[in-house]
Amino acid sequence: MLAELGHFALILALLVACVQATLPLWGAWREIAAWQALARPAAFAQFGLVALSFAALTACFVNNDFSVSYVAQHSNSLLPTVYRVAAVWGGHEGSLLLWVLMLALWTAAVAAFSFSLPQAMVARVVGVLGWVSVGFLLFILALSNPFERLLPAAADGRDLNPLLQDPGLIIHPPMLYMGYVGFSVAFAFAIAALMAGRLDAAWARWSRPWTVVAWLFMTFGIGLGSWWAYYELGWGGWWFWDPVENASLMPWLVGTALIHSLMASDKRGNFKAWTVLLSISAFSLSLLGTFLVRSGVLTSVHAFATDPKRGVFILMFLAVVVGFSLTLYAWRMPKVRMGQAVSLLSRETLLLANSVLLVVACAAVLLGTIYPLVIDALNLGKLSVGPQYFNAVFVPLMVPLLVIMVPGTVVRWRESQWSELLLRLRWVALAALGVGLAAPALAGEWSIGAAFGFFLAAWVVLGSVQHMVLRWRQPGQIGAAYWGMQCAHIGLAVVVAGITGVKSYEVERDVRMGVGDVVTIEPYAFRLQGMSEVKGPNYRAVRADVEVLKNGQPIDRLYPEKRRYFSTAMPMTEAAIDTGFMRDLYVSLGDPIDGPTPQWSMRVYYKPFVPWIWAGVLLMVLGGGLAAVDRRYRAASPRTETMPTGVAPQGGA
């Protein structure tokens, strides 16, 4: 009964979305205020219906309704309740429903928090979001229905993949989808502005807070995914350049370029064409990511089970949405007045350089991700593109980006002087150089890679500190956005330092341990105190009791496990980690070894600086949050310009 209710709610949501996608847009075009006014209620109604549908599916999971096919595939009666809820998005159909729920949520939020916007603008934005909703709802109802019945009902479910039975599943996909879907708002604003023929600073001002919030969720989601892989998979890796990871990184890179470009468009009216293109691209990459992950064209550990029909639908949807947007772009942009000229050394130029570097990095990741597909499609063979390629290409692109981060915040708009810039930054440069040269020697063996990495991180941190101190001394209020910017920049630097540190100084010991044996990684020692068998709610595990000592003094007890879930034959490793400010101590239990005395294979890792990666991500998220709540965004809309002669201004207010 519940499943049918959920299904019905989805059908209603589709109908509402169809209304939402047509009438307000028509109303905005033909200046029919009543139809424009339909946008907000439609958005709220759609959110209510999708939420109802989602709740129905969740209830099916919690109630162990194995007559619903999707529940039978991804759940089990022994599954703890919290994972039954998380299992809702553990498979393809449910995760799409989560996507649509997020979209409805963002649409409703735009409808709710946009009272300072002209009604026609709201109508257009919500209308465009309606088109996206229609596409996804149609996809779900036609090809990915989570409410399909399984008759006769299964006696018990197939269980959620043990790798997913982890707190990471509870939070990573929702946060990530908030980001993916959030870029649709910037997209909608850009399309709405193109439709209206009004591309002024107001559009950029309105779009900014939404884009920053989407960006911070995306950052959080990617960071969570990386952290989850790190502690879950058992050998402490945190980024594999897997196609699905790349699918999330690409919109993030363009999204970062977008928030910086929006700044220039907002404050100076510059780069409109570029900002609009970035707005379209960010969401297009989200859609492309959806295609790559769910169509089966690329192989990935993260990929959902696939079906060629689904791939075709998503590709067509992608072609229509993006094709339409880019056509609109090509048609409208030539008529928009361009911004002012700027000198070679100016904030505008450095922001453009930021865009260029991020977009080229994104293009490089895209190239590497789809190259095997392209070569195969051309019948030229089969090859693989792995982490070695991406690291070789991506890292050099990030270097100039980090370098220009500091002057980017220092130079003035429009025009700036080299002498002034050098004068201000030379001590920062020297100090950063000092840190770069000294830090590796303190952390271990000196290497040029580590020195360079620490130099870049110190450059950004010290530059930001200098900037903040100087700004503090100046009169005038400092908005939250300023602190947000500095926080996010410092966060990135901390991530860079973390990555540099762990890559240069991590130590791995692959050993066989009997009870009482010790593994030493100065100044730490790991002693196996004993082994035991434990029983979990739906698994049985062998657990090792490892005492961790520093300089001979016990500091922690770790309990790595090797689990065997009842539902699958797959053994699973649960690593045990001791986290400190400067390092992680990571122990992973392997298989028992035949021999005269009982022994087990163990992997013990010393990973310095790894916590800095996660801390840096949190700082970036915090920075984004501060930037989004700046008071400026809650002010009334500034005066708007209209189009030059030749194109009649459209829309009300």
Partner 1 sequence: MKKFLIPLVLFFGLVIFLALGLQRDPQAIPSPLVDKPAPAFSLPTLDPAAGAFSPAEMQGRVWLLNVWATWCVACRQEHPLLVDFAQRHQVPIVGMSYKEIQPQDVQAQGMDANAKLQFARERSQVWLSRYGNPYVLSVIDLDGRVGIQYGVYGVPETYVIDKQGVIRYKAVGEVTPAILASKVLPLIQKLNAS
Partner 2 sequence: MGAFNPSALFARLAVSMRLWGLGLAMVGVMLSPAVAQGPQPAGPGVAAPPTAASEPTGSLSAAPLASGQAVAAPTITLGPEAAPMTEEPVLEARLLKLSEELRCLVCQNESLASSRAELADDLRREVRDLLREGKSDQAVKDFLVERYGDFVLYRPELKPLTWLLWFGPFVLLLGAVAGLGWYLRQRRQLADTAPALSDAERARVDQWLKD
Q: Which of residues 378-417 bind partner 2 (CB under 8 A)?
A: 380-389, 393, 397, 417
Task: State the residue for tokens 């639908």.
Answer: 313
* Spatial distance between the Cα atoms of 226 and 497, rounded to a whole number of angstroms: 16
Among 131, 117, 128, 149, smallest CA distance to 192 is for 128
Tokens 């220039």 correspond to 264
- Residue 167 contacts partner 1 per CB under 8 A: no
Does residue 18 bind partner 1 (CB under 8 A)?
A: no
Of 338 and 470, the one with the shorter C-beta distance to partner 1 is 338
Cβ nearer to partner 2, comparing 154 with 521: 521
311 is a contact residue toward partner 1 (CB under 8 A): yes
Binding residue (CB under 8 A) for partner 1 from 153, 273, 393, 399: 273
Please give the DSSP secondary-structure letter assigned to residue 341.
Answer: -
Restricting to residues 280-309, name those near partner 2 by CB under 8 A. 299-301, 303
The CA distance from 543 to 522, in Å, is 25
Per-residue CA distances from 165 to 391, 422, 450, 499, 535 (Å): 31, 53, 37, 28, 15
522 vs 625: CA distance, rounded Å: 40
Residue closer to partner 1, measured from CB, 378 or 448: 378
Letters for 539-578 (x = contact with partner 2 by CB under 8 A, - = none) are: ----------x-xx--------------------------
Query: Of these partners, partner 1, partner 2, none, which one is at the site of residue 584 (CB under 5 to 8 Å by kind)?
Result: none
State the nearest-atom distance from the C-beta of 135 to partner 1, in Å. 15
**For residue 341, what are its two tokens?**
């000229």
- 3-class DSSP assignment, residue 320: helix
Question: Is residue 508 at the binding interface for partner 2, with CB under 8 A as the rule?
Answer: yes
Q: Which is nearer to partner 2, 330 or 344 (CB)?
A: 344
Minimum CB distance to partner 2 smaller for 508 or for 556 = 508
How far, in Å, CA of 313 to CA of 134, rounded? 13
Q: Which two tokens stand for residue 339?
A: 């911004």
Q: Which of 18, 170, 315, 618 binds partner 1 (CB under 8 A)?
A: 315
- For the chain, give the number of residues: 653
Q: Which of 63, 77, 81, 299 binds partner 1 (CB under 8 A)?
A: 299
Residue 509 β-bridge partners: 604
String marking each residue 213-252 x if it binds partner 2 according to CB under 8 A:
--------------------x-x-x--x-xx---------
Tell me the C-alpha to C-alpha distance, in Å, between residue 84 and each of 59, 165, 188, 560. Answer: 9, 9, 34, 24
Residue 508 C-beta: closest distance to partner 1, Å: 26
Q: Which does 408 bind (CB under 5 to 8 A by kind): partner 1, partner 2, none?
A: none
User: What would the x/- binding string for partner 2 be over residues 594 to 613, using CB under 8 A?
Assistant: -------xx---x-x-----
Q: Which residues contact 189 (CB under 8 A, 6 or more apart)?
A: 125, 203, 206, 207, 210, 279
Q: Which helix (H) or strand (E) holds 583?
A: strand 583-593
Strands 518-521 and 524-535: antiparallel
Q: Which two tokens stand for residue 347?
A: 């904030």
Closer residue to partner 2 (CB): 388 or 477:
388
**Binding at 523: pick from partner 2, partner 1, none (beta carbon under 5-8 Å per type):** partner 2
Residues interacting with partner 1, by CB under 8 A? 273, 277, 280-281, 284, 291, 295-299, 308, 311-312, 315, 318-319, 322-323, 326-327, 329-330, 333-334, 370, 372-374, 376-378, 381-382
